[in-house]
Amino acid sequence: MDETVAEFFKRTILKIPMAEMMTILKAWDFLSENQLQTVNFRQRKESLVQDLVLLCEKKRASLNDAAILDIVYTQFHRHQKVWDVFRMSREPGEDIDLFDMEQFKRSFKKILQRALKNVTISFRDAEENAVWIRIAWGSQYRKPNQYRPVYVVYYSQTPYAFTSSSQLRSNIPLLGQTFETHNSTTPLHERSLGLDINMDSRIIHENRIEKERVQRVTQETFGYYPQPRLEFAQYKLETKFKSDLNGGILAEREEPLRCLIKFSSPHLLEALKALAPAGIADAPLSPLLTCIPNKGMNYFKIRDK
């Protein structure tokens, strides 16, 4: 087991509460009962983690084994996440096929890996004909980030797939296309929904209201139409150092501080427009960014008034 996998195990086990440690490890079903009995669960958590990682190393645990442990932990704490639901429908007259879960897993993995070079996908079967899918996204030149995955809960023979909210919103359409390709279905719409009817409905309501607010503010700022194509914007900053503290070298400096900030993208304005809906920035964006189309400029100098 290399250092990367060992660190993944360490960080996953560390986030498990001590009161749930044994329950989650047994549900994981990777370490045997005899192996768990050799571990002192009353010692400090850091020492316990080291002992458990050592057991996993002796058993030659893989990256997928660590990912499944993370799925088990997430299943126990699924109510701490915000979930989106995708509802799909079949074409008129299309029959429901007999569902083969193993074939679905192979197909799902093959389609996603064909579309994206660096991605790791793990599955864990659950009750009620559901399968949990853990996806760690990477890119063409970057390995998958195991600490920012997206979780999918798919109920076979139903048109529903639940996905945990993710900062990497740009990959969600790819995920929807993967389900569409496998199921020959068309995503109809996306909306927030809890996985359990006992979940506090106020959280879901608040999330929906916030999404609507962000969408409204974004449309008011950028309009309803595609943005003009722009590849960069440049800001020159010239300002004196300001501080509530007395004294200091910078406070006595007469010359202003100068720096240059440049934003670049194949389609900068569309990228800025997508920041708030993607959850990367607050809405509304800074006027320094949104004034670009209004002023028809992409070079700015910022000085003290």
Q: Is the pLDDT of residue 198 over 60?
A: no
CB 183 within 8 A of CB 88: yes
Confidence label for 89 from pLDDT (cuts 50, 70 and 90): low
Q: pLDDT at position 244, please? A: 54
Three-state DSSP string of 47-103 = HHHHHHHHHHHHCCCCHHHHHHHHHHHHHHCHHHCCEEEEEEECCCCCCCCCCCHHH
Q: pLDDT at position 192, please? A: 37
- Token reading at 280: 């990367």
Percent of the chain with pLDDT over 70: 78
Q: pLDDT at position 190, please? A: 38
154: closest CA among 229, 83, 215, 228?
83
- Range of lowest pLDDT (66-70, 74-78, 235-239): 235-239
Mean pLDDT, range 167-190, rounded to an integer = 55
Higher pLDDT, 104 or 37: 37
Kindly report the pTM of this predicted structure. Answer: 0.59
CB 284 within 8 A of CB 245: no
Q: What angle do CA 111, 150, 54 make, to 5 degrees?
A: 100
Higher pLDDT, 224 or 61: 61
Q: Is 284 helix (H, G, I), strand (E, B) or coil?
A: coil
Q: Is the pLDDT of residue 72 over 90?
A: yes
When the pLDDT of each residue in the chain is averaged and rounded to a whole number, the result is 80
Higher pLDDT, 35 or 187: 35
Mean pLDDT, range 93-98, rounded to an integer = 49
Beta strands in the chain (DSSP E): 83-89, 119-125, 130-137, 150-155, 160-164, 186-192, 232-239, 257-264, 299-303
Higher pLDDT, 144 or 175: 144
Q: Is the pLDDT of residue 238 over 90?
A: no
Percent of the chain with pLDDT over 90: 31
